[in-house]
Amino acid sequence: MTREIWEKDHDYYKLPPLKTEDIKKAEQQFKVTLPDSYIHLLKEQNGGSILFNAFPAIQEDFFIEPYIEVDYIYGIGEINGILETDYYLQEWEMPKGLILFNGDGHTWLAFDYRNVAANPPIIYIDNESEQIIKIAEDFEEFLNGLYTAEEDYPLEGEREFNEWEYSKEEFEALLEENDVEKLHFAIKEISQGEKDEKWVSDQLLKLATHSEDIIRSEVANSVWNSYVHTFNKKMIQTFIDIFQQDKDADVRMYADMIIEKINYSFEDLTNNLHTYKYMHLMFSFGEHFYQINRVSQGWSLLNNQTDAVQVFNTVDELLAQATLDGKPLKEMWSYVKVI
């Protein structure tokens, strides 16, 4: 399943567009061949924040959380890029042969070229415990394992969620005020916190044809990320029609992504589970939300509301034996809504 990776609205880690010379410089510096999937990704955007924030923690007895936090990927550059690797390897006394693409000093994610010159595995490095753990066979598997995890607590430096909340009246006042920066932020917040879906859909429809690209793109992202599984089919189709006619390519892209999510079939699930070693999928069925995860003992299907979990040794076992409300997953899939 092809997925958009980059968060277009954040640019702290976004570097100037990639040039052929940049690739040659990096490969000459490290004396390796960078993964094709990494180069392809950087040709879309040279590093930056991503739409996801987590990768499954396969070695569950080591990690406190069931996921590794990752919300950006370095591009090729001297600042906030992989060309800083040699400095950090020396500063934190890490092994040679690694190329760091995410981290904060204490923990890192890296390409592991210690034993290969191409197609390296992806590793997690914990400098405090001096642990190095392989988390993916290659970068493509890593990309396909990324997902969005809900956090139960604010990260360091972030404000409490209730400081971010907007009442309906406050949001409608912002809409009238038309402060683009505040509106852009507020759209994210109502998408995360407001439960009145009719009111939310009305506000998003008003903003779906806003004059500013950044507002329309955030509306499209909110519909794709938060509401495909909750808005009714007629409302979703209305948004798709609007997004498909947008002048901005990013907005049109979200229309395609929404359609892909709506049409995600059991055959798609089967193909993806067989293709990607690490994969995470969330979906709703009836009033409940479920997750398909790779776990240390194989694969699991978790009911988020009841914490009931079904565990399987292989993908084929999951596909054949997993159930929803006591009936086979395959039989019930037409009633599933992918999140």
Name the nearest CA neighbour of 280 among 297, 263, 300: 300
CA distance 271 to 279: 12
pLDDT of residue 280: 75
pLDDT at 9: 65
Q: How confident is the model at residue 252, as a pLDDT?
A: 94
Three-point CA angle 105, 87, 80, nearest 5°: 70
Question: Rounded to whole angstroms, how far apart are CA atoms 35 and 185?
Answer: 35
What local confidence, expressed as pLDDT, does residue 157 receive?
42
In the chain the beta strands, taken as DSSP E runs, fall at 48-49, 54-56, 67-69, 72-73, 98-103, 107-112, 122-126, 131-136, 280-285, 288-295, 298-303, 309-312, 323-324, 327-328, 337-338
> Quick one: pLDDT at residue 2?
52
Distance CA 15, CA 18 (A): 8
Q: How many CA atoms lie within 13 A of 310 on its CB side?
A: 19
For the chain, which ranges sit under pLDDT 50? Answer: 1, 152-164
What homologous superfamily does CATH list for 20-145? SMI1/KNR4-like (3.40.1580.10)
**How much is the pLDDT for 206?**
96
**Single-letter amino acid, residue 198:** K
The domain limits of the chain are 20-145, 161-248, 266-338
Model confidence, pTM: 0.57
pLDDT for the residue 260: 93
